[in-house]
Amino acid sequence: MRKLSTAIALGLVVLFAVSCSKAPSVFKGFEKSETGAYMRFYEKSGTGIMPRINDGVTFSMAQYFNDSLLFDTKDSEPIDIILEPAAFVGDVSDAILAMQVGDSARLVVLADSVFVVMMGMDAPEEYAGKPIYYDLKLLSVKPSEEIEAENQRIADSLKVVEEEFLAPLRSDARNNITESGLIVMEQKGKGKMAQMGDYVDFDFLLCDRDGDTMMCSYGIEPVLMQYGEEFICKGFNEALGMVPQGGMLRFVIPSELGFGAEGYQGIIAPFDPIVAKVTMNDVMDKEAYGKKMAELEAKEEARRQQRLAEEDESIKAYLKDNSIVATPTESGLYIIRETEGMGSMAQWGDAVAVHYAMYNLNGDEVESSYSYGEPMHFTIGKGEMIACIEEAVMTMSPGAKVTLVSPSELGFGEFAVHQELLPAYSPLVIELELVAIE
């Protein structure tokens, strides 16, 4: 589904205004800055300190639509970012570039730009052609040169810490150091080694220097891939070619063979060496790999059919326990009518607004539009909504309310919305209200 106001607020730095030769009427009362942003200053400090691209900037921001506050940093931390080039003329970056430290101003952008450019969709009717306002106050600027120097000091410190960890391992006569710098601590097995074109089945464990697990496949699911494909990092790919079939390899990947100064998605820190273990379960040619994949697919299909059979029984039990007598539609959807609406029913291609509350069969609420304070908007037939809601809404008139009991194939299917509340192949119960046909 979606949280509309949150999605808009996430565009703090890359919000857009329409670039055109003539300013839209909603920009009246605002002056166009040299950077292209339409602004009205509340206060000009005269400090003379202005940011540049790549400088660090700290600013407060409040976001408004139709006099409603959508987002505000007042009760939280101010925004602290590296200023990047504007994606389009007139965005927040352009406004910040036009300000001095201590200035406060209001920026106006068209809501259409937020939806079309950021979300890839047309703005809903209530937003189309209307302004979104941003009250901004530039609190501080940190020059990019100062940031670069600080980052270099941090990098140098991290390199020292890494070297202190690696030096004893390199000097240990029991370890083997490859030409690239990979440190091999233990190697077992004498089976077949993978060659280019082979397929491999292996398990792996990645730990940080303190022995804390970062990634692991043991006891979860082994990796099947063609040897030579990129996996994890350069050092890991090298090690994979050193593990014999049925064997094991323990090794350390220096950061220069790993993720270097960037790290990896908050899992692996910059300049962090990786302590790893790989067990090679099988080395196969193309034919053997094809047979193995066919066997795995057959087992997965059997498990899927079992889950679907269990799902059907759970839906029947839910209907019985709740004294619901209803006939499913051809697709298998149960639609229990609670309140009839007024007027014509929604049709394929209509833009609609609905409220919903979604539950699992145990009655646990998973998500509700009522908690967002506004209905959800979508166009029937564009694939913007799960199938059970699209099917049901075409049987409803504005004001109608229904309860849906839906099989997973009309909901989220194999996708796990929530591992505990709504895992894969979970039936849904949805309270659905058609608010309007737009």
Flag whether the pTM goes above 0.85. Answer: no
- In eight-state DSSP terms, residue 99 is -
Contacts of 295 (CB under 8 A, 6+ apart): none
Record: fold of 169-284:
Chitinase A; domain 3 (3.10.50)
Which pLDDT belongs to residue 22?
54
Question: Taking 60 as the threshold, does the pLDDT of residue 7 lie above it?
Answer: no
Question: Taking 50 as the threshold, does the pLDDT of residue 83 lie above it?
Answer: yes
Percentage of the chain beyond pLDDT 70 is: 93
Dmax (CA) for the chain in angstroms is 84
Question: Taking 60 as the threshold, does the pLDDT of residue 19 lie above it?
Answer: no
Encoded tokens for 289: 């790999």
Higher pLDDT, 101 or 125: 101
Which pLDDT belongs to residue 410?
94
Q: Assign 68 a pLDDT band (cuts: 50, 70, 90).
A: confident
How many Å is the Cα radius of gyration of the chain? 29
Q: What is the mean pLDDT of residues 44-50?
A: 96
Contacts of 76 (CB under 8 A, 6+ apart): none
- In eight-state DSSP terms, residue 338 is E
Please state whether 393 falls in left (phi above 0), alpha (psi between -120 and 50) or beta. Answer: alpha
Rounded to the nearest angstrom, the gap between the alpha carbon of residue 230 and the centroid of all alpha carbons in its chain is 23
Contacts of 149 (CB under 8 A, 6+ apart): none
Cα separation, 351 vs 438, in Å, equals: 5
Q: What is the mean pLDDT of residues 248-257?
A: 97
Which pLDDT belongs to residue 155?
93
Question: Taking 50 as the threshold, does the pLDDT of residue 8 lie above it?
Answer: no
Encoded tokens for 296: 């795995």
Q: Which one-letter amino acid corresponds to residue 203?
A: D
Q: Which of 352, 353, 363 minimizes the C-alpha distance to 430?
A: 363
Which pLDDT belongs to residue 128?
81
Which pLDDT belongs to residue 117?
66
Question: Taking 60 as the threshold, does the pLDDT of residue 372 lie above it?
Answer: yes
Which pLDDT belongs to residue 307?
78
SS3 312: helix
Can you name the residues that pair with 422 across neighbouring β-strands? 418
Question: What is the residue-wise DSSP string for 31-57?
Answer: EEPTTS-EEEEEE---------TT-EE
Q: Assign 130 a pLDDT band (cuts: 50, 70, 90).
A: confident
Cα separation, 227 vs 261, in Å, equals: 27
Contacts of 226 (CB under 8 A, 6+ apart): 197, 198, 199, 200, 289
Which pLDDT belongs to residue 120?
66
Enumerate the CATH 3.10.50.40 domain ranges in the chain, comma separated.
4-142, 169-284, 309-437
- In eight-state DSSP terms, residue 227 is B
Cα separation, 372 vs 349, in Å, equals: 25
Higher pLDDT, 50 or 69: 50
Question: Taking 80 as the threshold, does the pLDDT of residue 1 lie above it?
Answer: no
The CATH number given to 4-142 is: 3.10.50.40
Higher pLDDT, 426 or 145: 145
Domain 309-437 has CATH 3.10.50.40: yes
Which pLDDT belongs to residue 112?
78
Q: Assign 6 a pLDDT band (cuts: 50, 70, 90).
A: very low
Which pLDDT belongs to residue 118?
61
Which pLDDT belongs to residue 95?
95
The answer to whether the CB of 357 falls within 8 A of the CB of 416 is no
Per-residue pLDDT tens digits for 28-43? 899 999 999 999 999 9
CA triplet 237, 190, 171: central angle to 5 degrees?
A: 60
Q: Which of 279, 305, 314 minimizes the C-alpha distance to 405?
A: 314
